[in-house]
Amino acid sequence: MMKIRIPACHIKFILASCLAFLSGQMLMGQAINPIIHADVPDMSMIRVGNEYYMSSTTMHMSPGLPIMKSKDLSNWELISYAYDTLVSNDAMNLENGKQTYGRGSWASCLNYQNGEFIVTTFSATSGQTHVYRTKDPAKGPWKTNSFSPSYHDHTIFFDDDGRVYMIYGAGKLLLKELKPDLTGLKEGGLDQVLIENASAPAGPNIMLGAEGSQLYKINGKYYLFNITWPRGGMRTVVIHRADKITGPWEGRVGLQDLGVAQGGLISTPDGKWFSYLFRDYGAVGRIPYIVPVKWEDGWPVLGEEGKVPMKLDLPKKKSLIPGLVQSDDFSRKDNGNFLPLAWQWNHNPDNKYWSLHENKGFLTLTTFRKDTSFVTCKNTLTQRTIGPKSSASVKINTSKMKDGDIGGFGLLQKNYGYVGVVKEGKKRYLVMSNNVGGAEHVVKKNALKKKDVYLKAECDFLERADTAQFYYSLDGKKWEAIGDPLKMSYTLPHFMGYRYALFNYATKNTGGKLLFDHYEINDLNENN
């Protein structure tokens, strides 16, 4: 056999080349769009040093205005909320027949200025524009101020000369100058129509006027991102640019593929550019995509040959767990009454009637008023559903329920469904109910002899199947399907992807308690 001598320097070169190739293979094409397969709409994103921060919309949920953090644009961790309570009124409190489903706070704008994180949002529920700021978005505290009116889909821009501007509106976009401290409009400041018809680059027949403004200044030029929707077409990215903030502005279509739109630009420390956008994707909600960007003739060019790639030159997404959703055994070593950030209440809660220490190792939901349905009951605790497929389960103890109580585990949206327990006199019944078609229907009702029962919902969002099946178990091992599959649908009244929801409400007597032993969520597509 012929022996071949390879100089040591060549061996080192070959090994280095192989390692570089393998490293590149590990990094390239590992992240897959959507970058998050869960309801994270209206993103606003910034980079501070080597770390990325993102705000999003959760509307009627409390706490609200979530802040997320990432080191690689692929793996995101929920680190805080800008507010515990947006405003306290009947609508946000879910009281006196009022509610604010699909409203609350909408699209936010995140900035970093003079060592301070500043995020703003607007709300039809409060009629105001809200400002939140902190030096540490993970620890807070968040200082707040607000002013009227509620400026729709605004972006706040801090220019190089120290002046601060707001762009807002839909179709016709307006420009106003703000006070430097963001306490309101600057008297005598700039106030003009910015672009008369920002939808024009997408054609004359528009169903949704250009909105969702996000403004950037790059190499001395201003770039404005908007979303619009041509009638009979799809959601479309429109980009305008100008040498001065006051214009004149020239525009073009930035991306028209899969309906992926609304967002802006982000750069990496090594000089790469991406666009962060979202896509309406049925019952799971509005899900984020990352799209590569190249610069040509002073314009950002989105996608690969005008298309949204499914694979990205970013590190692999590890999991949404425990990034944006999280299992919880409700045990607290210090007897505290705190919840992981993944949890949000449906509307403002009444904190006197839920506890993590009243019954150690359990979340206790206590009824304190009479309600008529799953969507009107107070103190419903929720987490996001995740796709393409996921399941979540709870174990409940019904020993302290009262006559007329209904509680359990549901999927929250207008067309909701749930599996739970109804107490009728001294008897308990396991029920599966849904609200499809405008009225709640009890699909299945079985007598329940045990006080403990496990409940589960399994969701299939793959290719917009948008179906869910409920299950129950008496031992946590053998599961039985109950009722019909729920056909889930994204509705504008709620304007949010389906939520896993823990609930308990009274129809006859108050003071009943439902004890949740644990909550477990499972991503059924770990490799997607």
Tens-of-pLDDT digits for all 528 residues of the chain? 333 343 444 433 333 333 333 333 334 448 999 999 999 999 999 999 999 999 999 999 999 999 999 999 999 999 999 999 999 999 999 999 999 999 999 999 999 999 999 999 999 999 999 999 999 999 999 999 999 999 999 999 999 999 999 999 999 999 999 999 999 999 999 999 999 999 999 999 999 999 999 999 999 999 999 999 999 999 999 999 999 999 999 999 999 999 999 999 999 999 999 999 999 999 999 999 999 999 999 999 999 999 999 999 999 998 888 899 999 999 998 878 899 999 999 999 999 999 999 999 999 999 999 999 999 999 999 999 999 999 999 999 999 999 999 999 999 999 999 999 999 999 999 999 999 888 999 999 999 999 999 999 999 999 999 999 999 999 999 999 999 999 999 999 999 999 999 999 999 999 999 999 999 999 988 554
CA 169 to mean position of chain CA atoms: 22
Chain centroid to CA 51: how far? 20
Strand ranges in 196-272 using DSSP code E only, listed in sequence order:
206-218, 221-230, 236-242, 250-255, 261-267
Q: Which H or E run includes 188?
A: none
Q: Look up tokens 């919902």; give the residue.
A: 457
**DSSP state letter for 468:** E
CATH of domain 344-523: 2.60.120.200
* Listed residue (358, 323, 356, 351) closest to 339, CA to CA: 356
Kindly report each contact of residues 332-339 with a partner whose C-beta sits within 8 Å and lies 24 or more positions away, as own/partner: 332/356, 332/357, 335/360, 339/381
Q: Is 450 exposed, middle or buried (0-12, 13-18, 19+ CB in 10 A)?
A: exposed
Query: Where is 485: in which H helix or E strand?
Result: strand 480-487
Angle, vertex CA 152, rays to CA 146 and CA 153, nearest 5: 105
The domain 40-312 is classified under which CATH number: 1.10.10.10, 2.115.10.20, 1.10.3720.10, 3.90.25.10? 2.115.10.20
At residue 14, φ and ψ (nearest 5 deg) are: -65, -45
pTM of the prediction?
0.93
Q: Is the peptide bond before 248 cis (omega within 30 degrees of 0)?
A: yes
For residue 16, the model assigns a pLDDT of 39
Segments of the chain assigned to CATH 2.60.120.200: 344-523
The Cα–Cα gap between 254 and 526 comes to 32
Angle, CA 279 vertex, CA 210 and CA 75 arms, to 5°: 120
Within the chain, which residue ranges are assigned CATH 2.115.10.20?
A: 40-312
